[in-house]
Copies of this chain bind each other. A is one copy, B any other.
Amino acid sequence: MAARAMANFALAELRLVNPRDGWPNPDAGPAAAGADAVLGGARVAQSANEALADCALTFATTVRHRDSSTPVVTPREAAARMREGAARGLRSGILFGPERAGLTADDLAGIQTIVTCPVDPGFGSLNLAQAVLLLAYEWFQAGPVEPPRHAVPAPPATHGEIAALIAHLDGELDAAGFFHVPDRAPATRRTLAALLARPGFTSEEVRTLRGVVRALADLRRRRAQPPSGAIV
């Protein structure tokens, strides 16, 4: 049903993160009613990070607003941002949650923008295919926008570059004993991921930040060893 929703609105790139029943899944065919091209071209990824790696703009859908610093927009606003990105040659990815459980806080931590559809607060239970339909619909209705005429800022980093920065920092912080209270480590990791995903760093800025992490880690390692030639 999600593939069918996509096909109605000219979206073809479906990526599946760890599909529960494996892939290809023969049960997916009949429900899609002609969306075979979308299903046939679906790619399987091992993680949300892998699925989003080449995207410069990342969105994730949640039904209810969660307590986080990640900005929240409506489907219509998300569609406008994706079209503006497309006019600058930037790829967008929308992460949808599994049917019942939804996305976890960890899934959402590295995402730039949350998309929440305004629904009747007394009901509010859009399923996966309905959420895909509404996002695809808004994307199609928004239509292509003109490329910007003024000077374009440097290209933003892709999700993969940001994810690699987060993993690099995480590894060095772990080695430095930063996560020494095990109970707090998951929340701290989410805070760091959200903090690095948000500002829309450029590729260049991400490279600079990775240099900063490397330099600090090297400094720590040098300090941990006795300086060569020192009198102990």
Question: Which residues in A have some Cβ–Cβ distance to B below 8 Å?
Answer: 4-5, 7-10, 33-35, 74, 76, 117-120, 122-127, 130, 133-134, 137, 140-141
Q: Which of B122, B124, B134, B140 contacts A120 (CB 8 A)?
A: B140
Q: Which of B9, B74, B120 contacts A7 (CB 8 A)?
A: B120
Residues from chain B with a CB closer than 8 A to the CB of A118 are 140-141
Closest to A129 in B: B130
The answer to whether B76 and A123 have CB atoms under 8 Å apart is no
The contact sample of 26 A-B pairs, CB cut-off 8 A, is: A4-B127, A5-B130, A8-B120, A8-B123, A8-B124, A8-B125, A8-B126, A8-B130, A9-B119, A9-B120, A10-B120, A10-B122, A33-B125, A33-B127, A34-B123, A35-B123, A74-B141, A76-B141, A117-B137, A118-B140, A119-B140, A120-B140, A130-B133, A133-B133, A133-B134, A134-B137
Q: Within the assembled complex, what's the spacing in Å between the Cα atoms of A122 and B140? A: 13
* A-B CB proximity, top 4 nearest: A10-B120, A7-B123, A8-B119, A8-B123
Q: Within the assembled complex, what's the spacing in Å between the Cα atoms of A130 and B4? A: 10
Residues from chain B with a CB closer than 8 A to the CB of A34 are 123, 125
- Chain B min CB distance to A41 (Å): 14
Q: Within the assembled complex, what's the spacing in Å between the Cα atoms of A35 and B122? A: 11
- Other than A4-B127, A33-B125, A119-B140, give 17 A-B pairs with Cβ distance below 8 A: A5-B130, A8-B119, A8-B120, A8-B125, A8-B126, A8-B130, A9-B120, A10-B120, A33-B127, A34-B123, A34-B125, A74-B141, A76-B141, A118-B140, A130-B133, A134-B134, A134-B137
Q: Within the assembled complex, what's the spacing in Å between the Cα atoms of A34 and B9? A: 28
Looking at A4, A119, A122, the one whose CB has the most chain B CB atoms below 10 A away is: A119
Q: Within the assembled complex, what's the spacing in Å between the Cα atoms of A118 and B136? A: 12
Residues from chain B with a CB closer than 8 A to the CB of A141 are 74, 76, 118
Q: Within the assembled complex, what's the spacing in Å between the Cα atoms of A140 and B133? A: 16
- Chain B min CB distance to A37 (Å): 9
Q: Within the assembled complex, what's the spacing in Å between the Cα atoms of A127 and B133? A: 11
- Chain B min CB distance to A224 (Å): 57
The answer to whether B120 and A4 have CB atoms under 8 Å apart is no
Looking at A7, A8, A33, the one whose CB has the most chain B CB atoms below 10 A away is: A8
